[in-house]
Structure 1
Amino acid sequence: MEGRLKKGLLLAIYSMGCGLMLSIFPFIKSPFNLIFSLFAFVIGIYFFRGYPSLRSRLLFIGLGLLFFFLFTVIITMILYLRSHPQGAV
């Protein structure tokens, strides 16, 4: 049980990191955005090296995409609210 919990938490952390790096990528101006894509690539390499099973890799990709969409929506909402401040009601 303890090994599965550790594996699950590491899967979530790796996929969250990868999703965050990929979601920051389109919002940063070039050439600095390439740094975030390289970070995501390195995170993926470290995960794939440590977890050779197909199930873990598919979960990593699926959770990475889920976190990518989640963080992209959050960043977009923050940027929108900063550029369109609401007046006092």
Structure 2
Amino acid sequence: MATGWAGDGAVQDQIDATVNDAVSRARRQLRKGPGLMRCEECDAEIPEARRMAVPGVRLCVTCQELHDKEQASAAMFNRRGSKDSQLR
């Protein structure tokens, strides 16, 4: 089957690369050790249940949500590009 510029399995390779990048990024962000008693951003108390559930926690839920939104917007890019850019 002719696929144009892409070789056989190229789409699956791109999907695999995207998934591998996301897993690597998530593993790098995992903290270890004891968590903080107070949020390092806003100095709010971090509940014991959160400290037990998330090893190495450093942010309260509110600050963590803001941090996650910032990370998500920075990580969005189009790996494949447009068809026009591939034809040039």
- Fold match (TM-score > 0.5): no
TM-score category, normalised to shorter length: 0.3 to 0.5
TM-score, with length taken from structure 1: 0.35
Point out the structure with max Rg over C-alpha.
Answer: 2
Greater per-residue helix proportion? 1
Taking CA–CA contacts closer than 8 Å with sequence separation of 6 or more, which of the two structures ends up with the larger relative contact order? 1
